[in-house]
Structure 1
Amino acid sequence: MFPYHARMAELWSVAKKRLLNEDELTEMNHCLELNAKHCWQLARLQNESLLASMTGDTEWQHETCARLEELQITGKVTYGDAR
């Protein structure tokens, strides 16, 4: 879990009891944006891994799996030479 996930859960819990103020709403939107970016990166890498597997490109699949692991650990992913 990344910090923005924890903060998003905290803000969601607060919102169950009262309306979020303007600063909290802004913060929630930032958390949601980061979460969406993370989800799209994850989906892209999973699709790349599947495509690499289906085409028998083991080198690409290993690179993609390394990027998936990097995303899961750091929350960020670097792209070397994009395909």
Structure 2
Amino acid sequence: MLGIHQRMAELWTIQKKRPLTDEEQKEMIVCLEANAKRAWKLATLENLSLVASMTNDTAWLHEICRQIETLEKTCS
């Protein structure tokens, strides 16, 4: 799990019991932005892999798959 995901889970749990402080709210926004950026990057790579597959560009497909694997490793 990425540190941002762990912190986001902590903040979410805290906010169920009490309102987040201003600093905690800022942290939550940073976590949400980082999560969204990573999600969009992964979605883009997955779409590009589909295009590479449909055009039979195996070299490009392998490069995209390598990038996907690298990105996914950062979450394990």
Q: TM-score range by the shorter chain?
A: over 0.9
**How many residue pairs were aligned?**
75
Q: Who is 1:80 aligned against? A: none
Q: Which runs of 4+ in 1 moved over 4 A?
A: none
- Taking structure 2 as the reference length, the TM-score comes to 0.95
C-alpha separation in 2, matches of 1:53 and 1:3 = 33
C-alpha separation in 2, matches of 1:6 and 1:50 = 31
- Taking structure 1 as the reference length, the TM-score comes to 0.88
CA shift digits 1:24-46 (9 cap, x unpaired): 00000000000000000000000
C-alpha separation in 2, matches of 1:73 and 1:32 = 19
User: Larger RCO: Structure 1 or Structure 2 (Cα < 8 Å, ≥ 6 residues apart)?
Assistant: 2
Tell me how large the CA RMSD over aligned residues is: 0.9
* 2:58 maps to amino acid: T
Between Structure 1 and Structure 2, the one with more helix by share is 2
Deviation at 1:73, TM superposition (A): 1.3
User: Gaps (5+ residues) in structure 2?
Assistant: none
* 1:56 maps to amino acid: N
C-alpha separation in 2, matches of 1:65 and 1:23 = 38
User: Gaps (5+ residues) in structure 1?
Assistant: 76-83
